[in-house]
Structure 1
Amino acid sequence: MASNGELPSKQKAAQFHPSDQSVHINEIPVPSIKPDELLVKVRAASLCHSDLMLFEPNDQGLNLGSGDPFTMGHEGCGTILEVGSEAKGFKKGDRVGWLPIIDCCFECDACQVHNLYCETGQSKVQGMTVDGYFQTYCAVKWQNAAIIPDGMDLDSSAPIFCAGATAFNSVEATRAELKGDPKDVYVAVIGCGGLGHLGIQYLKAYGYKVIGIDLSPEALEEAKAQGADYLFNPKEDKDYVKKILEITGKGCHAAINFTNSVPAYSSTPDVIRYNGVLMVTGIPQKPISFSGMDVSMLRIRVRGANNGRTDQLRNCLEFSHKHGIKPHVTQFKLEDFQKMLDTMHAGQHKGRMGVLFE
């Protein structure tokens, strides 16, 4: 490392090697920023379940993990060290988090929905195809960045910038479809892990009744800690659907599925009342399907949500700060990255896991 406040020329990074689908801690150059970028000293980066897609085949048409080794991670936060000449609204020393899509125009009709589908066709996801954030220094597009409110803990904030934004947008999209006093409305959270434990916090902040459903005892324990009103493990309780119908009267008014499980999606309509909302948030490796009759006859209303745009990210940060929403993060050292991956593969974690940099 350099001294006297100067940047080092090299840094360590957790990199995915497409050639053998392995991860190595490599030494790589510290990036130089372009005029439309910010150089950020990363304080924290966290692991998302979708990062595991790099190690598995998918049927979603996603081209992941090809070419040269690249740094993993698409959830991060830190402090700005340098501001590009074209960047607007930021200064050195600002604490920021950001979204991971680059090489998009940020202006076309598609970008107003999600930058991944930019009309240029050049969009890339940092951490999935090009260098991400499991490294000490990274370059960030200023259009993707949002300032973290004073008083929010930087060390635990990294998951907000994917899991938090996704969970918040899912809850907001669900709310738009619901009527009545929240205290009389039941929402099922399918998958109470990294995304779900934040979704529960957002739902409870609005006053909804929450039913947490997960196969993992650890995830259900976390769901309880975050205020879920009822908990069910379908693997251990074969009558869970009957019990949910009894609790809710006619079924949940909505269910947000945060999992990547096709069977979980297939069973979700069972816990939803007539004309209830099924929010598609988690992305399985294989396509999911619904009954055309159920959708056509409004047995269920199928909607979708994702990590969204930067304006939505700012709303998420403001709401999270106001209501004390905080990710549960277990921190690892960069050298223990493989252990973190293995723990997520085994489903033996609560909330999120990440790396805290010096």
Structure 2
Amino acid sequence: MNGKANGHLPTKQRAAQFDPKDKSVRINEIPVPDIKPDEILVKVRAASLCHSDLMLFEPNEAGLTLGEGGPFTMGHEACGTVIKVGADVKGFKEGEKLGWLPIVDCCFDCEECQIHNLYCERGESKVQGMTVDGYFQEYCAIKWRNAVHIPEDMDLDVCAPLFCAGCTAFNAVTDTLSELPGDPSSTWVAVVGCGGLGHLAIKYLKAYGYRIIGIDLSPDALAEAKSSGADHAFNPKTDSDYIQQVREITGKGCHAAINVTNSVPAYSSTVDLLRMNGVLMVTGIPQKPLSFSAMDLSMTRIRVRGSNNGTTPRLEKCVQFSHEHNITPHVTQFKLDEFEDMLKLMESGKHKGRMGVLFD
């Protein structure tokens, strides 16, 4: 760090930044941000890597504009403590623990923002870590209306994934369960993709009392699925008859399946895991469009729904539920200088749970 101002607050910091010009990542020295009246300056304790961060390096057919302009700091899930609050901030004070959602330049109040701030009627929404500075830096500025309190007895070192993977998994689970009125102990839900997001979906389903089938191509992810509470786990590469096995275990197939992958083939095969009137929850976002049979939909062979990381009120429920049920992500920690190593591990799929950076 170079330079000091406002007591112990530095003027500069190091950050893992993406350069859109050559799609490279470098550790750069940048200023500690100033805050606007509606912002909070946060001392980041932990920031974690999400698979969607890799979208910066891949062709994108999801309708998102990513990586324009100059270098910006990566990362859209983190947690930390309040260092300073703007004049218009309500409900937060210095020293408190908090986590937050990453959408900025939205109004928070329009009809669209009640569903997801990315679609604010202003049409100016941006994702921190995707188009503007994110959280793989020691200090960051966030919008106070994106933030929620973290209970004092929750460990910040492992909380960061709750603020993307966690709330996305929790919302996918609760949205799925709203379609399943039966007894949880006799209701089967498949989780397709058991890594950073999927292992949390399994933990939430387990807390609600549901029976769980884990599906993944990675032996490490399947081991994580079992340790997180899955009743059975299958690898389509090595368990060639896994769909038949799932149908035998569940009777007629799963009542629902939550797909958190970015794989079109994985979505296509997920339909075969479902029984009549089963729910397919679309949570992961492939780079290419999905297709479903009109006959399957019109005849209610399957029901297709979507879920996402949601809004601040839903995030608050996720944090409360995680606290009440002692649900924590599995996080492997790295140093900021090892950021590119994290990216390579994420690309390879040879990791368990989530990966992140701890700041002093």
Structures share fold, TM-score greater than 0.5: yes
Q: Deviations over 1:165-221 (max 9, x none)?
A: 000000000010002110000000000001000000000000000000000001001
Match of 2:100 among 98, 101, 104: 98
Aligned residue runs from structure 1 range 267-286, under 5 A: 267-286=269-288
Residue 171 of structure 1: which of 167, 170, 173 is its match? 173
Whole-angstrom distance in 1 between the partners of 2:62 and 2:319 = 30
Mapped to 1, the partners of 2:10 and 2:349 lie a distance apart of 37
Instruction: Give 2:266's aligned amino acid.
Output: A
In 2, distance between residues paired with 1:149 and 1:274?
42
- Cross-structure match for 2:191: 189
Structure 1 residues 37-63: Cα deviation after superposition (integer angstroms, max 9, x where no partner): 000000000000000000000111111
Q: Tell me how far apart the structure 1 counterparts of residues 7 and 167 of structure 2 sit (CA, whole Å).
A: 34
Q: For 1:7-47, what per-residue CA distance to the aligned partner results, in whole angstroms no more than 9, with x for missing partners?
A: 11110000000011010000000000000000000000000
Question: Which residue is 2:9 aligned to?
Answer: 7
Equivalent residue for 1:60?
62
Where do 1:303-314 residues align within 5 Å? 303-314=305-316
- The DSSP-based 3-state class of the residue aligned with 1:28 is strand
Which residue pairs with 1:356 in the alignment? 358
The CA distance in 1 between the partners of 2:235 and 2:59, in whole Å, is 28
Alignment coverage as a number of residue pairs = 358
Question: Quick one: which amino acid aligns to residue 198 of structure 1?
Answer: L
RMSD of the TM alignment (CA)? 0.8
Q: Distance in 2 between matches of 1:96 and 1:48?
A: 19
The answer to whether 1:217 aligns with 2:214 is no
Within 5 Å, give how 1:80-119 maps onto structure 2: 80-119=82-121
Q: Look up the SS of the partner of 1:253 in the other structure.
A: strand
Separation in structure 2 between the aligned mates of residue 329 and residue 21 of structure 1, nearest angstrom:
26
**Partner Cα distance (2:158, 2:29) in 1:** 25
Residue 146 of structure 1 corresponds to: 148
Per-residue deviation, 1:238: 0.7
Alignment-derived partner of residue 336 in structure 2: 334
Match of 1:261 in 2: 263
C-alpha distance in structure 2 between counterparts of 1:87 and 1:312, whole Å: 20
The match for 2:48 is 46
Identity %: 71
Question: Runs ≥4 in structure 1, deviation > 6 angstroms?
Answer: none
Q: TM-score, normalised by structure 1?
A: 0.99
Amino acid at match of 1:346: S
Partners of 1:122 and 1:31 in 2: CA distance: 21
Aligned to 2:32: 30
SS of residue in 1 equivalent to 2:123: coil
What is the match of residue 198 of structure 1?
Answer: 200
Cα distance in 1 for partners of 2:65, 2:235 equals: 34
1:273 and 1:140 map into 2 onto residues whose CA distance is 44
Paired AA for residue 234 in structure 1: P
1:241-294 CA-to-partner distances (Å, cap 9, x unmatched) read 000000001100000001000000011110000001000000011111111111
Aligned mates of 1:179, 1:111 — CA distance in 2? 29
Match of 2:10, SS state, is coil
Q: 1:75 aligns with which of 77, 98, 108?
A: 77
Cα distance in 1 between the residues matched to 2:59 and 2:25: 17
How far the C-alpha of 1:6 sits from its partner, in A, is 2.3
Unmatched runs of 5 consecutive residues or more in structure 1: none
Find the aligned partners of 1:297 and 1:180 in 2 and give their Cα distance. Answer: 21
- Residue type at the aligned position of 2:164: C
| Partners of 1:135 and 1:254 in 2: CA distance | 39
Cα deviation digits, residues 311-344 of structure 1 (max 9, x gap): 0000000000000110000000000000000000
Q: CA offset at residue 150 of structure 1?
A: 2.0
Separation in structure 2 between the aligned mates of residue 295 and residue 54 of structure 1, nearest angstrom: 33
Inter-partner Cα distance in structure 2 for 1:6 and 1:237: 57
Partner secondary structure for residue 225 of structure 1 = helix
* CA distance in structure 1 between the partners assigned to 2:180 and 2:10 by the alignment: 52
Report the AA paired with residue 61 of structure 1.
G
